[in-house]
Structure 1
Amino acid sequence: MIRVLIADDHQIVRAGLRQFIADEPDIRVEGEAASGDEVMTRLREMEFDVVVLDISMPDRNGIEVLKLLRQRHPNLPVLILSMYPESLYAINLIRAGASGYLTKESAPDDLVRAIRTVAQGRRYVGPTVADLLIGGLDKPTDQPLHQTLSKREFQIFCKLSRGQSVSVIAEELFLSVKTVSTYRARLLEKMGMKTNADLTYYAIKNGLVE
């Protein structure tokens, strides 16, 4: 039996996902979480085989939760299920350790197939993500700017674009201010930008922040 934890801040979405899975003989929803902090609490309370994780959540967003899960539960498969199209987040999150990426427009059968795939220790890569991966190999210069960042640079990019200061980011990530400043300078150079306002504008324009 595949024990699933569903993490999404919308109750109606969690209920819908639970309903999709209810008839599957080998999959059972064992827990729900409405925030990033609740995900970590549920994982302390019991064991799960797969986490189905949204990106936009209170407390800690899905990107931060994924990083924590890779540190504390390195073998736990994490399937990202998001409203954002694959082109915005999929490559970065798979690079950061996600086992797969689906949009909320995907068919229920795709979700079930993805859960079974990642539960077996394999990655679930749908046609769109596969095309992005292949396209990234063939035409690296055509990638969106944020996909050129390392996973740590992307994490800091997301925080900067949401208006967090370097000192706050340093405290949250247990890094020195100097280290975060170095990452900031590096990602600005990679993206051809000069200020945090440029990062915020890019993030909003590309649907990376709400």
Structure 2
Amino acid sequence: MIKLAIIDDHPIVLAGLRHLLEDYAALSIVGTFSNSNQLLDFIAHQQVAVLLLDLQLPATDPVQFIKALKRARPSMRILVLTNMDQIFTARTMLAAGADGYVLKGIDKYTLIEAIESVSQGVQYIDACLRDDLRNTMLGTGDGLPLLTDREQRILEMIAKEMTTKQIAAEIHLSSKRVESLRSDLFQKLQVKNTAGLVRKGINLGLLPGL
């Protein structure tokens, strides 16, 4: 039996997740929480095998919260369940100590699979992020930011002044996903706008021939 806790500041989300998972025989939902202090108090005295964690909790730094959770209950596995689909964010949370990262659009059976995987000590990454995230976590070894093939292609199209809509059509992604990948590029290259992105790309040799 996997003892599961859930934290999300939206009551309707908590209720929905409980309803979704409570009939699954291998899970026992031991608590649902809407703020970080409630959860920290609970795990100080109660065993939890897996925590479903929303990243957007009020007045809570998710990186520091994950570290605090791991200090308080080292054996507890943390599965991030979020709407935030940026590769940079996922990588940051995994580096902080999260054991898995999935998006709220997944179906019930995929969520159960993710919970079971992390409970067994196996890292679980949402399928739509998996390849890009694996590539970015390999490291280049030369001090340069490592871009996935998709990010490199998007960078080159941005440098050619293609719009988000044009890029999305070219690489068969949604405009929302392209905007997310653009945000990842800004964070990786540590720039604030498109002009800075292109300039930094040229300076680092990521945009050869431009």
Instruction: Report the TM-score when normalising by structure 2.
Output: 0.64
Distance apart, 1:25 and its partner CA: 0.6
Give the structure with higher Rg (CA): 2
Alignment CA distance shift 1:36-1:129 (3 Å) = same
The Cα offsets for residues 125-145 of structure 1, whole Å up to 9 and x where unpaired, read as: 23223212333238743268x
Higher helix share: 1
Give deviations 1:67-117, integer Å, cap 9, x for gaps. 102222222100000111142411111121111001111111111111111
Q: Secondary structure at the match of 1:37?
A: helix
CA RMSD of aligned residues (A): 2.6
| 1:58 counterpart = 2:67 | no
Q: Secondary structure at the match of 2:28?
A: strand
Q: C-alpha distance in 2, partners of 1:89/1:141?
A: 15
Distance 1:78 1:53, change over 3 A: same
- Which runs of 5 or more residues in structure 1 are unaligned? 145-187, 194-210
Instruction: Evaluate the alpha carbon distance shift between residue 59 and residue 45 of structure 1 in structure 2; reply closer, same or farther with a 3 A threshold.
Output: farther
Find out whether 1:27 has 2:32 as its counterpart. no
In the alignment, the residues of structure 2 paired with residue 62 and residue 31 of structure 1 have an alpha-carbon distance, to the nearest angstrom, of: 20
Shift >3 Å, 4+ stretches: 137-141
Equivalent-residue separation in structure 2 for 1:57 and 1:133 (angstroms): 24
1:4, 1:30 within 8 Å by CA — same for their partners in 2? yes
Aligned length: 151
- Structure 2 residue ranges without an equivalent (≥5): 152-186, 193-210
Equivalence map 1:57-76=2 (5 Å): 57-76=57-76
Instruction: Tell me if the contact between 2:43 and 2:73 (Cα under 8 Å) persists in the aligned partners.
Output: no
Letter in 2 for 1:3: K
Please, what TM-score do these two structures have when normalized by structure 1?
0.64
Q: In structure 1, the residue corresponding to 2:44 is in which secondary structure?
A: helix
Distance 1:78 1:134, change over 3 A: closer
Is 1:122 the counterpart of 2:122? The answer is: yes
Tell me the distance in 1 between the aligned counterparts of 2:36 and 2:139.
36
* 2:180 corresponds to: none
Letter in 2 for 1:141: L
